[in-house]
Structure 1
């Protein structure tokens, strides 16, 4: 085990994840400039051939596409931060404590708890569900636009049924791996449990960010997981900033809002990054979740494909 190589990969992953917060503005500018260059040679001909409808529709479509990347990022920030997060902060951290202070401690067990329950039932549950749907659409749009700019059209080499099975398998693995990361935090030896949970959360956040690019490149789920396990120093460093930020909050709702605000930048970071090939022994943290997921698939829709061999580089 080469400590120097591991340290470099950790630092490079950490740096690449932070770099995405600046890269998004450069990427949006490059997209606009490239579209303008494509339109400029044919502008005269388009005016002569289509003086009315053609010219107007082309300009309108171009303008919509140019602003799509930043608009999606702003939508994520406004909805998750300006609507969801602020409502949580106002009601649970300002309104309820002030209510308890004004009415006295005896009223807390009755009115305050009822209001909190009613608030979470009527407001938090619907808006949480809506945020999951909208975030899924917005994240995919951001990832597709960034991928098309840097690599061109996505590569789909399988049938849609296999693609759907791959997506379902990926969702199950991510959910089980999240439960696994939470479970190991309850190991009686606090330091060991915290480190293992922290490392696995870093790898999970890296999988979230890179999966959009790897999926568009045609990588299967087992190949994606093997690549993370084989080059774990880089991906632990890449997922470290997001893990530190989300674990700072006691409320999982607040952590989820912060994650949704920052994750678009992580998608850009993953799309632009070139992972360091460490060559260290793989960390088989995904092995338990893969085993359980294979059992679930075997008992429901049949046996999934066997895991691919560990990949040594992105192609």
Structure 2
């Protein structure tokens, strides 16, 4: 028992250490990706020169799939996007949302309130002051709603979509550097189904974490379980990019997290702590912005890191409930759709019989 606890603690510390790899080595990774692309172009150039020397060079025959003709000018010049550039762009967009919210609440709202109080007529009586306060509370609520609906929400949605593409670029660059060409799913349909199924499981698991926090039994224990839920979920977010490139379906990805749960709990702890501290002082959108700024570094760390070989004594089946609910949901929806199709077919058959 003592050895099992000691091993789990060591795996937790290893996850903590591996989570910081992206922040420390992002500059080196950028240089390695650049060197890899340069060596690739050099190999193609050497092959061109070799064919020329042998007298078998055909400009109509492509050597590289990304080129239509082969000559000195047709070498593939496509390079992977710089990791640091993608991370900087993601951080800039998220910081812009953060600064806009801060500027609205710190400067614009107090300025509007100042002018509104000076322009409103009336004496400084208690009734007038109370009325002015109520009017301003309603006005502030309307202004906050308009600002959130017309500025923050659209900008936040756009940033999530754009950041998603940038995160994929970062993950693919690091994966090709350390693991080679990604493995594709057998079919596009299976890939889409796996993505949707995983997204539903993660959403249900997030709701499960929220419910665990509000269980009225030993608040310390429920909060620890809440932290474990979020740490494992954040680790799953980061490692999914790597596992998706490896061709692992969602069941295998969740099995990996449940089997090596101390390691993944340690890996996701820093991101959970930083976003939780931000959420304690700022709105949810600000916490999401902090998540978007830090998440690319954890993607790099997850793509570079390797899962420990030692397996803990106990597998934490923490996703079991969410997966069961999702399976029931999908089976019910499929059954309802099949019943509806059967009813339509039977009605069509009866109508044809009546016409005959």
Residue pair 2:8, 2:312 contacting (<8 A) in 1 also: no
Greater shift after overlay, 231-240 or 276-285?
Answer: 276-285
Residue pair 1:203, 1:232 contacting (<8 A) in 2 also: yes
Residue pair 2:80, 2:173 contacting (<8 A) in 1 also: no
- Deviation, 1:194, is 1.3
- The aligned residue for residue 7 of structure 2 is 5
Q: Which whole-Å CA distance do the structure 1 matches of 2:71 and 2:81 have between them?
A: 20
- Deviation, 1:279, is 2.1
- The aligned residue for residue 313 of structure 1 is none
- Deviation, 1:101, is 6.7
Q: Which whole-Å CA distance do the structure 2 matches of 1:45 and 1:223 have between them?
A: 41
- The aligned residue for residue 307 of structure 1 is none
Unaligned runs of 5+ in 1: 303-315
Q: How well do the aligned residues superpose, as a CA RMSD in angstroms?
A: 2.5
- The aligned residue for residue 102 of structure 2 is 89
- Deviation, 1:287, is 0.7
Residue pair 1:9, 1:278 contacting (<8 A) in 2 also: no
**Residue 249 of structure 1: SS of its match in structure 2?**
helix
- Report the count of equivalent residues: 298
Unaligned runs of 5+ in 2: 60-69, 118-132, 336-356
**Residue 20 of structure 2: SS of its match in structure 1?**
helix
Greater shift after overlay, 111-120 or 94-103?
Answer: 94-103
Question: What is the CA deviation profile of residues 73-111 of structure 1, one whole-angstrom value per residue up to 9, with x for unaligned ones?
Answer: 122111111x21111221134433565577564443122
Residue pair 2:36, 2:177 contacting (<8 A) in 1 also: no
- The aligned residue for residue 261 of structure 1 is 293
Residue pair 1:20, 1:265 contacting (<8 A) in 2 also: yes
Q: Which whole-Å CA distance do the structure 1 matches of 2:147 and 2:116 have between them?
A: 19
Question: What is the CA deviation profile of residues 283-313 of structure 1, one whole-angstrom value per residue up to 9, with x for unaligned ones?
Answer: 11101110111012112247xxxxxxxxxxx
Residue pair 2:29, 2:174 contacting (<8 A) in 1 also: yes
- The aligned residue for residue 278 of structure 1 is 311
Which of 161, 174, 185 is the matching residue for 2:213?
A: 185
Q: Which whole-Å CA distance do the structure 2 matches of 1:100 and 1:196 have between them?
A: 44
- Deviation, 1:68, is 3.6
Q: Which whole-Å CA distance do the structure 2 matches of 1:213 and 1:87 have between them?
A: 33
Q: Which whole-Å CA distance do the structure 2 matches of 1:75 and 1:275 have between them?
A: 30
- The aligned residue for residue 88 of structure 2 is 74
Residue pair 1:100, 1:108 contacting (<8 A) in 2 also: yes
- Tell me: CA distance 1:180–1:94, structure 2 relative to 1, closer, same or farther (3 Å): farther
Q: Which whole-Å CA distance do the structure 2 matches of 1:141 and 1:173 have between them?
A: 24
Question: What is the CA deviation profile of residues 16-64 of structure 1, one whole-angstrom value per residue up to 9, with x for unaligned ones?
Answer: 00122122221111011122223335547869999xx9545647x34xx
- The aligned residue for residue 167 of structure 1 is 195
With the length of structure 1 as denominator, give the TM-score of the two structures: 0.86
Residue pair 2:21, 2:300 contacting (<8 A) in 1 also: no
- Tell me: CA distance 1:298–1:100, structure 2 relative to 1, closer, same or farther (3 Å): same
**Residue 283 of structure 1: SS of its match in structure 2?**
coil
- Deviation, 1:157, is 4.6
Question: What is the CA deviation profile of residues 90-143 of structure 1, one whole-angstrom value per residue up to 9, with x for unaligned ones?
Answer: 113443356557756444312211111110111012112111211221111111
- The aligned residue for residue 311 of structure 1 is none
- Deviation, 1:220, is 1.3
- Deviation, 1:246, is 0.4
- The aligned residue for residue 248 of structure 1 is 277
- The aligned residue for residue 39 of structure 2 is 37
